[in-house]
Amino acid sequence: MPRAEVNGIELFYEVAGDGDPLVLVHGSWGDHHNWAPVLDALTARFRVLVYDRRGHSQSERPPGQGSRFEDEEDLAALMETLGLAPAFVAGNSFGASTALGLAARRPELFRGLVAHEPPLMGIVADDPELRPLMASTGKKIDSVIGHLRADEFHAGARQFVEEVALGPGAWDQLPQQLRQTFLTNAPTFLDEQADPEWSDLDLDSLSGYAGPALLTKGTNSPPWFATITTRLAGALPQAQTYTFEGAGHIPHVTHPDAYARRVTGFIEDSHGHS
């Protein structure tokens, strides 16, 4: 199994396809398998890198408190180690936060950026309309964290899936392998939530990324993601936005054809503007 040592830890990765380099960054609880529904379409056009972020599945899980900054540094080092920089980078959820955070600091590593629903609650914490809903969701996440701290990974994962991410009854509808991935990576979600910087991003720094950017959201997602997308679009000089109809937080899983088409179109269009 291919592994790369970056920043003192080993990360599992896979590279397939030919063409422009495209790096896919998964969200919390998941791993590189989350991208499987779109890989055939994307590897037909691009040289695609998928990997397990630190603490997830087949990558190393170092002891001690982690940070999103470490994830950003891992992404940078992996791209450079494998000779893929600069690359197009597409992130989902926490992976989108990671990609945006890195773009704010190392814009030269990016040919283009795709971010779907980064949970950057910190940049919309001042929105009075969202505050009650975010407070309610915060209590649910606190309950999830309570389960995880008590090593009740199954209860915590089920609650997160059904009350925060995907909706009632969703846990039992997930494939067994995906449920197992949630359980395996539950401790890393707990670690991510303990990072005081996990939900924030300096929008002034982000405005220094002047390359192509595509910010996406789903019609079935909580309303704060639309507001987050709007704030990010205001900071990114070349931002375009897109909404996946009928999709929620993981369109690459639920609407893979639409997701692959949109990412492919964005990359092909960006050649005309580079």
| Residue 47: C-alpha distances to residues 76, 82, 143, 211, 254 (Å) | 17, 12, 41, 20, 23
* Residue that has been written with the tokens 């972020």 in this structure: 53
State the average pLDDT over residues 194-212.
Answer: 96
| Radius of gyration, alpha carbons of the chain | 17
Q: Is 157 in contact with 188 (CB distance < 8 Å)?
A: no
Q: What is the mean pLDDT of the chain?
A: 95
Element (H, E) at 178: helix 176-193
State the average pLDDT over residues 55-62.
Answer: 95
Query: Which CATH class, in words, describes the domain spanning 3-124+196-273?
Result: alpha beta
Backbone angles phi, psi at 42, to 5 degrees: -80, -40
Is pLDDT at 274 greater than 50 in this prediction? no
Q: Is 110 in contact with 58 (CB distance < 8 Å)?
A: no
Alpha-carbon span 50 to 13, nearest angstrom:
6
Alpha-carbon span 145 to 142, nearest angstrom:
5
Per-residue pLDDT band for 256 (boundaries 50, 70, 90) equals very high
Q: What is the pLDDT of residue 272?
A: 64
Domain ranges of the chain: 3-124+196-273, 131-193
> What is the percentage of the chain residues whose pLDDT exceeds 90?
88
State the average pLDDT over residues 253-272.
Answer: 94
